[in-house]
């Protein structure tokens, strides 16, 4: 939680702001971490936690966002990603002082408020909301710097107004149903990262994409682009990563591929004839390799907090059997409570197994690379010579297996599942979404190798998460250009 506490609030209309915050709290039905505990009528509004910068990410909040909330005159940042907020985004968003909005991966629905995108000057993150509509023509706010609308079932063509995003540096439209010829992206001269993977583009790759001087990451994979790869892509001297697995979709005939060296090293244009198996004569310039990458590096990125063995032991009562919630040949899972009150699941790997270290390394490699609402996320890991554990979010609803076959092993209870048909269909959809991400999302593809009901966990709202990547395989597509 990030909050600014001020004892003087000259920009605020205090009565209205306090009413808006209290209204928001009223509509939040569940607040398990008491993030809004000091939002009370008897507390001065400027002493409310987060009265200007409100960050409520991953707090299991459940409820609606009332329309009055975004009438706060002092609120500049509202971040509530990965909660269970429902309903529509309020129309009052268009009258807000916000410059940063992040409500991705909730359960919001309905249309975007008119002019929303055009009025936020900095960051707009609405990923994973399932909006199911066209990109609005009002999308082109010239001050917007980052826009994330991936996994939203957005359809139709790219509106020409997107060319007005003159200061945008990152644009993510992955996993939607966009089509047409995205020529407008060539007008975004400040753009550094463009993600168009998993859409329905079936045109030629726009020549204008080679005119972006700051572009360092370009993902066009999993579309239906056809024809010649523009030679202008070789002019992108800042480009560090190009996910070009799009040509696996071009299974008809041959494609003439033109690759250039960066300008300082350019001595000409290399052309080659390329299909799914490039001729041997082209290999001095171009090689493709699918390889199964064995994970050997257990380092966790800086974004994951450090945690000590002692802290995990205290959280689980010394790994007491009373806190044991699951066992398998790949480890034992314990429920734990950290000092800050967060409930976690600790997956402890059996070191007596010869493959346990490999399994731990592999799972670390997978979990630190993936981020999707239907895949279990890693909190952190603890690796010592004689102790290896993964720290994961605790799922109170357990596994899908326990809901499909309740008490079947102990012969207690009815043994009949209480899952409704609607719940089953939604769970199947969640699993399919997670697996599609694993199979198609860059920079690596993941083959799970052990998908079963016992490895599907259910959140409080019955959203399904695919878990247990202990025997997963990483498939890396590597493209080499010999300069």
Active-site pick, 122, 216, 275, 450: 450
Spatial neighbors of 7 by CB under 8 A, at least 6 apart, are: 44, 46, 47
- Cα separation, 233 vs 230, whole angstroms: 6
DSSP letter assigned to residue 417: -
- Cα separation, 244 vs 242, whole angstroms: 6
Distance of CA 188 to the CA centre of its chain: 24
- Cα separation, 100 vs 411, whole angstroms: 53
Q: Do residues 362 and 294 touch, judged by C-beta distance below 8 A? A: yes
In this structure, the chain runs to a length of 483
**Sign of the torsion angle spanned by Cα atoms 323, 345, 380, 369:** positive
Spatial neighbors of 14 by CB under 8 A, at least 6 apart, are: 45, 46
Closest among 469, 462, 467 to 375, alpha carbons compared: 467
DSSP letter assigned to residue 241: E
**Sign of the torsion angle spanned by Cα atoms 200, 205, 210, 216:** positive
Structure tokens at 419: 């899952």
DSSP string, 98-160: -SEEE--SSEEESPPPTTHHHH-SSEEE-TT----SBPPGGG--TT--EEE--SS--EEEPPG
- Cα separation, 286 vs 278, whole angstroms: 8
Q: Is 450 annotated in the active site?
A: yes
- Residues involved in catalysis: 450
């Amino acid at each position: 939680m990030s909050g600014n506490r001020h004892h003087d609030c000259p920009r605020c209309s205090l009565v209205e702001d306090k009413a808006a915050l209290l209204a928001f709290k009223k509509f939040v039905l569940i607040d398990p971490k008491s993030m809004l505990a000091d939002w009370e009528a008897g507390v001065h509004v400027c002493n409310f936690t987060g009265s200007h910068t409100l960050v409520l990410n991953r707090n299991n909040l459940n409820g609606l966002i009332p329309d009055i909330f975004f009438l706060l005159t002092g609120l500049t940042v509202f971040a509530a990603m990965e909660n269970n907020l429902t309903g529509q985004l309020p129309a009052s968003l268009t009258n807000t002082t916000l410059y940063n909005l992040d409500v991705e991966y909730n359960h919001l629905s309905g249309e975007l408020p008119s002019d929303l995108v055009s009025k936020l000057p900095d960051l707009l993150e609405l990923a994973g909301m399932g909006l199911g509509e066209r990109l609005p023509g009002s999308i082109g706010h010239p001050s917007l710097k980052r826009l994330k609308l991936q996994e939203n079932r957005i359809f139709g063509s790219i509106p020409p107004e997107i060319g007005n995003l003159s200061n945008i540096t990152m644009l993510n439209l992955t996993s939607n149903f966009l089509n047409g010829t995205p020529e407008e992206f060539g007008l975004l001269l400040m753009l550094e990262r463009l993600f168009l993977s998993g859409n329905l583009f079936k045109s030629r790759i726009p020549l204008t994409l080679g005119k972006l001087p700051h572009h360092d990451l370009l993902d066009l994979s999993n579309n239906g682009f056809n024809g010649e790869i523009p030679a202008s892509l070789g002019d992108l001297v800042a480009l560090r990563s190009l996910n070009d697995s799009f040509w696996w979709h071009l299974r008809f005939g041959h494609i003439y591929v033109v690759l250039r060296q960066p300008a300082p090293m350019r001595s000409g244009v290399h052309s080659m004839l390329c299909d799914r198996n490039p001729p041997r004569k082209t290999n001095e310039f171009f090689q493709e390799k699918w390889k199964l990458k064995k994970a050997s590096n257990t380092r966790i990125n800086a974004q994951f907090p450090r945690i000590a063995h002692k802290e995990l032991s205290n959280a689980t009562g010394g790994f007491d059997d009373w806190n044991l919630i699951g066992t398998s040949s790949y480890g034992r899972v314990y429920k734990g409570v950290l000092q800050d009150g967060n409930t976690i699941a600790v997956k402890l790997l059996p070191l007596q197994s010869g493959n346990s270290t490999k399994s731990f390394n592999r799972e670390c490699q997978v979990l630190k690379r993936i981020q999707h609402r239907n895949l279990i996320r890693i909190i952190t890991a603890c690796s010592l010579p004689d102790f290896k554990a993964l720290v994961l979010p605790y799922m109170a609803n357990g596994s899908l297996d326990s809901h499909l076959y309740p008490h079947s092993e102990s012969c207690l209870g009815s043994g009949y599942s209480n899952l409704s048909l609607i719940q089953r269909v939604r769970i199947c959809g969640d699993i399919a979404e997670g697996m599609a991400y694993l199979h198609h999302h860059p920079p690596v593809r993941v083959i799970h190798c052990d998908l079963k009901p016992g490895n599907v966990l259910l959140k409080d709202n019955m959203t399904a998460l695919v878990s247990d990547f202990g025997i997963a395989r990483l498939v890396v597509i590597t493209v080499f250009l010999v300069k």
